[in-house]
A and B are shown apart, each in its own frame.
Chain A
């Protein structure tokens, strides 16, 4: 099976370029990640991140034939040859398919991804009704793989100032959590020219989320809540 893989060696000083590989997969090897492991057998200098190999850790997010996907759950039969593997668009490339996720996590941290509640803790849990718990569905499952943020043109143009779909989805996860007490603060933080409002509802994020989540819908909810607060 033929692959074209993005190669970049920071030590060589050469510009990034695509390198061709041809691998044969053994029976039982069906995923792009399996192919990457085979490629690495041929060429040990290739670098890529991977861990769980079952689509829950988000380490092997990359651009496969033009779309951001997780290599471990992308079946090789789904991707026409030559399969083009590139790093997540818009992220600084450290080496080959490994990108710098610093800015991505900076945005995640700045939306305060933790419960803010200074009320004295109850003896056991802070209770939620089933309906309140329901509101977290579609938000808590994010694995922070960055497929969405790496496919968002608004993030490409302003990665340092726009929080991005993943960060905004997590912001909504805590805004909508009935146990959180700083909804006003969270919304006020996002009411900024760049942080939230660079979103143009292009919906590339929802198109590529490997967990089937919809950052676009989460962002829509945030905008509606902001509107309600000021009118």
Chain B
């Protein structure tokens, strides 16, 4: 019997807001992990006395990184609270998912215009 197909066309699946926040949590986590070497480099440069000024082209990556840090933080706090029993009902979980997504986007915007 040949392998049976599996329906997993993610474009045809309508994800709830919690799933979107969760996806963002994972993507932001991986992005932050990739940014770790740059963080260590920045620590070294700051302790060596080198300037930490950001070049012009760094504005967009910096804003993306700010989004990653903010969203990962907010979504992470959301998870910790839900596990402690706070806001784990479906309506509350949806609201906090929106809050995490909007909060992260707001920080990213602020980082971009600052």
Direct contact between A and B judged by beta carbons closer than 8 A: yes
A202 touches B4 (CB 8 A): no
Contact with B along A150-176 (1 / 0, CB 8 A): 010100100000000000000000000
| Interface residue stretch chosen among A35-43, A121-129, A213-221 | A213-221
B83 touches A223 (CB 8 A): yes
B16 touches A201 (CB 8 A): no
Write out the residue numbers on chain B whose beta carbons fall within 8 Å of the beta carbon of A203. Answer: 16, 18-19, 90, 93
Write out the residue numbers on chain A whose beta carbons fall within 8 Å of the beta carbon of B3. Answer: 92
Shortest distance from the beta carbon of A63 to any chain B beta carbon, whole Å: 7
Write out the residue numbers on chain B whose beta carbons fall within 8 Å of the beta carbon of A90. Answer: 6-8
B12 touches A220 (CB 8 A): no
Contact A220 to B88, CB < 8 A, known contacts A66-B13, A86-B12, A204-B18: yes
B13's contact among A63, A91, A217, by CB below 8 Å, is which? A63
Report the interface size for chain A: residues with CB under 8 A from the other chain.
36
Q: A94 at interface (Cβ–Cβ under 8 A)? A: yes
Q: A84 at interface (Cβ–Cβ under 8 A)? A: yes
Q: B82 at interface (Cβ–Cβ under 8 A)? A: yes
Write out the residue numbers on chain B whose beta carbons fall within 8 Å of the beta carbon of A216. Answer: 88, 93
Contact with A along B86-104 (1 / 0, CB 8 A): 0010100100000000000
Q: Once the chains are docked, how many angstroms separate the CA of A203 from the CA of B82? A: 11
Chain B residue at smallest Cβ distance from A212: B90
Q: B57 at interface (Cβ–Cβ under 8 A)? A: no
Write out the residue numbers on chain B whose beta carbons fall within 8 Å of the beta carbon of A89. Answer: 6-8, 13
Contact A10 to B90, CB < 8 A, known contacts A63-B13, A86-B12, A220-B82: no
Write out the residue numbers on chain A whose beta carbons fall within 8 Å of the beta carbon of B88. Answer: 216-217, 220
Chain A residue at smallest Cβ distance from B3: A92
Contact A202 to B19, CB < 8 A, known contacts A66-B13, A67-B14, A220-B83: yes
Contact A200 to B22, CB < 8 A, known contacts A86-B7, A93-B6, A223-B83: yes
A15 touches B5 (CB 8 A): yes
Chain A residue at smallest Cβ distance from B8: A89
Q: Once the chains are docked, how many angstroms separate the CA of A113 from the CA of B90? A: 26
Write out the residue numbers on chain A whose beta carbons fall within 8 Å of the beta carbon of B8. Answer: 89-90, 156
Shortest distance from the beta carbon of B13 to any chain A beta carbon, whole Å: 5
